[in-house]
Every structure is written in C-alpha cells, then in structure tokens.
Amino acid sequence: MNTDPITFEVVKNALVSCAAEMSITLQRTAFSTNIKERRDCSCAVFDAEGRLVAQSKDIPVHLGAMPMSVRECMRAVGDELVEGSMALVNDPFSGGSHLPDLTLVAPVFDNGEMVAVVANRAHHADVGGVSPGSMPGLSMSLEEEGVVIPPRIVVENGHLIKERVNDLLEGTRTPDERLGDLAAQMAANTVGQRRLREVAQAAGGWDRLAALFSDLMEYSAGLMMKAVAPLDGTRDSFTDFMDSDGAGRWRIPIEATVTFGGGGVSVDFEGTAGQVPGNINCPLASTLSAVYYVFTSLFGRDIPVNEGMWSVIGVRAPEGSLLNPRPPAAVSAGNVETTQRVVDVVLGALAGVIPDRIPAASQGTMNNLSVGGTDPTTGRSFSFYETIGGGAGAMKGRHGTSAVQVHMTNTLNTPIEAIETSYPLRVRRYAIRRNSGGPGRWRGGDGIVREIEILVDGCEVSIQSERRHTAPWGLAGGGPGETGRNVLMFGGRKIELQAKSSVTVLAGTVIRVETPGGGGWGAP
C-alpha cells in the first residue's frame, strides 16, 4: 500500500459516508412505505471496472449481489452509459436478485472518462405479475412474478425517459408510486456522484482516488486472508432443508462444504438439490450475497467491506441447481427465503470447525407478507409488503435476541401507524411469541405474533415463508426453536395456511403470522 495511513483512513471513511448519505437520501425521498419506513434499500460505490469499493450498512442480500448487476449493466449498455445517464436492471439472470429489487446504476465522469460508478437497489412494492406485491405464493416462471427489465438506459441528461419504463408502469398496479421511488433512486445516485467528486478533489484528484480504491481492496483482502489463515487445513460439511417450493416439492436439501486453505476459503454447494418448479430458486448473485454475509459477519468486523475482502472467498454452486438456476426459473422467494437457509447451512458447516463462535440457527425466514386490492377511499389499487422478524439463535455466552430481523434482511418493521394510515388494513396484534425460542444454557430468541385485519373485500394475500415444518436447529445440546405458523381467521374459523400461499379474502379477515424462534445453545 503506497498511501500514508492518515489519508487512507480519512478517504476510507469518506467513501462509506458517501454510500450512507445516498441511502439516507433514498429513504427520505421515497414514496412507498416499504422504502421510506422499512428502509428496504441499499447503496454502494464502485470503481471504473465495477468493483465494489464501499457500501452503506443496509440489506446484506442486496449488497453482495449488486456488483454483478453493475458489471452486467456496464457490459450490456456499453457506450450508452455516458455522463448524465443511468441504467436500470432487475433481471435475476443479469446480476439481479428478484424482480421487485430495481437497481439503478450511474457512472461518474471526469474530463470525458468514466472514473467511478454509484448504484442503489430498492425493493419496489409491486412490479406486476400474478399477485399484488409481486411475491406470489405460487409462481412457476419468472414472467409470472412481474416485469423483467434487462439492463437498459432509462435516464438521459439527468431526466427519466418514461417511455423506457413503460413496461413497468403498465405492468405494476401502482404506477405513481413506482415513478416516485424511481425519482428517489435517481436523487440518491445524484448525491453519490456529487459527494464522490468532493472526495476525489480532497484526495488530490481522480488518479489519486483510483489508486486509493486499489489500496483499499488490497488492504481488505490482506486482512481477510490473515483472519482465516489460522483455520488452514480444516474442512466440514452440513445439510439443511427448505420446507417446500410452493409447487409440490418438499424437504429440499441444501448442502455446503467449507474448506480453509490456500490463503482463503472455499464454499462448495455440491449435493444441493437441482432447481425446482416453484419460486425458491436462488439466483447466483443472491447465493454469493449469503456466503459473503457469513464470512463478513464472522471474520470482517474491523475489515472494510469491498470486493477485496470477497476475493478471498471462493464459491461454487453447480449450474442448474437450486442456488444457480437457469432461466426462466421462478425466483421471487429464492432471494428472501433460500438465502436465509444458505446462511444456516454455511454456519452449520463452520460449527464443525469453530464451534464456540457459531450461533444456533435463527428463524431462517423473512416471513414475507403481501396484501393488495383496491382502496375504497381513493378508488386506486394499493400494494402492501413487509417482512416480519423472529427469533435469533443463541450462541455461547449469549441468549438469542427476540423479535428481530435476522441475517439476510436488515430492514425495520413497518410501524403500525404507517400501515393504518396508508392502507385499508388494521393491525390487531403485534407481540413477542413467548417461549418460542429453543431451550438451552443460552436460550434462543422468541419470534413474533403479527395479526393484520383486512378492511375491504377482494384483497389478495400472499405469504412466502419457511421454517413451518423444519425447525431452526440448536447447537451443543441446545434445543430447536419453534416452527412458524400462518393462520387465516374469519367468522370464528381458523384455517392454517401453507408456507407459500396466496388467497383472496373478504373484509374482516385476519391474517395471523407466528414467526419461528431461534435455536438454543448448550444443554439446558
């Protein structure tokens, strides 16, 4: 590294602050409840080759996947990515995750040369498809899940070209909200470009900043290699299961073998099931996100997160498998549910190598809930989407946290006031699901009970969830957490719904989601 330590530290933190300010801009200018309240968005800074340099501390499942989207946009639109332009993509087979996640990529130019890139990814509450929220309980092809956007230029000279997003606006049930959220994404990138130019000026110019980009990635790679070096020569495997794909397949295995050596670590998913008809197929970019998240959490506490850190981690997911499907596989739940199980499996394998540092399984699901219909007060369509927290797994010396988002999601809850103000919905109950955490010397965290009443007829409710049949496991003699439940209540009747469900309901129906608890650690 050729940079003096003080300059290096100042620039490193300035780049992280640049991404963080982008994220704050996006959250504060967004139209949808999902982005402005739940903060379901992420921002990052890249070098001129599309390599991640710095990121905001937002959604793990977004951030590890974004570099693939950025590079695919740079490759696909080529010379069209000019000053004042921005490219949009959501195609899971072009670096995306699932269709509601729209990634907007903006180049930064200096004297006619691209010198850096800024980008953000935001979960839009509806992008079309067979059900409101674009997160159907059952889908068997990508087109059923919404509008597919391959990399394309949608902003020129700083202005959104509406004709370039007509397919999105015609496919979504909430076009005005989509335009508002896209405008917020544009604003976030504009802030990022401005701040990055200021960093370059303070650092002594773009040539100097480009050298710092390389130094930063080299620094992170060296620290990560040093962190995993004591484990050289160790290896272990673990298998866990997805409950179902929503289309008739049950108990679907994911297997990982983790091997330390050669100055790094490799994760091989040989033995994982092939891609399935339902929507739990996980795009490769999302699989990478989950693996990177595990190693960043365990070994990277004091390491700047960038592509240098990840270069030490090799990942192999066989093509055509659940974790690297071929198009046009359905993937909407893969990004949100299967990635959670990837985390569980990799942690399970690592428990055989560093048992005292690994927590028991957390709830292992995001409990995705979507509700859509027509709001009688406005006569317009609405689409509500949220994920619901649960129990975190315990670890040696620490009980699991209750009622929290875990692992691949880092969103907030949707405030009750925001739900009841924005939608024809009423929150009937929001409570900790007592004693749902697994027993152990250190107990697993408890899940959540969330009850939402539908106030208008004809609403469609979709649920994508997991850990309804296969419990979150405990470690070192600790017991498993309770499995979750999805219950529909109407007219005094209770109907238990499957993990992946879509139903059309009448006014007065209550949807009750009981989320899983985390596993316990150590014999009780």
513-524 pLDDT per residue, tens: 999 999 999 999
Domain stop point among 199, 220, 241: 220
CA distance 173 to 382: 7
Average pLDDT over residues 302-308: 93
Please state the separation of Cα 196 from the chain's center in Å. Answer: 25
Question: What are the tens digits of pLDDT across the range 384-398?
Answer: 999 999 999 999 999
Query: Residue 2 pLDDT more than 80?
Result: no
Q: Is residue 483 part of a domain?
A: yes
Average pLDDT over residues 229-251: 97
Contacts of 127 (CB under 8 A, 6+ apart): 90, 99, 100, 102, 134, 146, 147, 168, 171, 172, 178
The pLDDT confidence band at residue 62, using thresholds 50, 70 and 90, is confident
Query: Residue 58 pLDDT more than 90?
Result: no
Q: Is residue 255 part of a domain?
A: no
Task: Indicate the SS3 state at residue 3.
Answer: coil
Residue 122 tokens read as 């935001």
CA distance 524 to 520: 8
241: enclosing H helix or E strand: strand 235-244
Q: Is residue 209 part of a domain?
A: yes
Q: Is residue 513 part of a domain?
A: yes
The pLDDT confidence band at residue 301, using thresholds 50, 70 and 90, is confident
CA distance 71 to 77: 10
The pLDDT confidence band at residue 1, using thresholds 50, 70 and 90, is low
Q: Is residue 129 part of a domain?
A: yes
| Mean model confidence pLDDT for the chain | 96
The answer to whether 391 touches 483, Cβ cutoff 8 Å, is: no
Average pLDDT over residues 61-78: 90
Domain stop point among 188, 220, 252: 220
16: enclosing H helix or E strand: helix 5-29
What separation in angstroms does the CA of 420 have from each of 33, 271, 354, 423, 427? 11, 46, 46, 6, 7
Q: Is residue 274 part of a domain?
A: no
Domain stop point among 220, 247, 277: 220
Question: What are the tens digits of pLDDT across the range 479-523?
Answer: 999 999 999 999 999 999 999 999 999 999 999 999 999 999 999
Q: How many CB atoms lie within 10 A of CB 377?
A: 9
Starting from the edge strand earliest in sequence, which strands make up the sheet with 250-261, in order?
A: 235-244, 250-261, 264-268, 313-316
| Domain limits for position 517 | 359-524
- pLDDT at site 342: 98
The pLDDT confidence band at residue 130, using thresholds 50, 70 and 90, is very high
What's the domain count of the chain?
2
Q: Is residue 518 part of a domain?
A: yes
295: enclosing H helix or E strand: helix 284-299
Q: Is residue 252 part of a domain?
A: no
CA distance 178 to 158: 18
Residue 18 tokens read as 């640049």
The pLDDT confidence band at residue 95, using thresholds 50, 70 and 90, is confident
- CA quadruple 318, 319, 320, 325: dihedral, nearest 10: 110
Classify residue 396 by burial, with Cβ atoms within 10 Å: 0-12, 13-18, 19+: middle
The answer to whether 480 touches 364, Cβ cutoff 8 Å, is: no
Compute and round to an integer the Cα radius of gyration of the chain: 22
Residue 413 tokens read as 């809850």
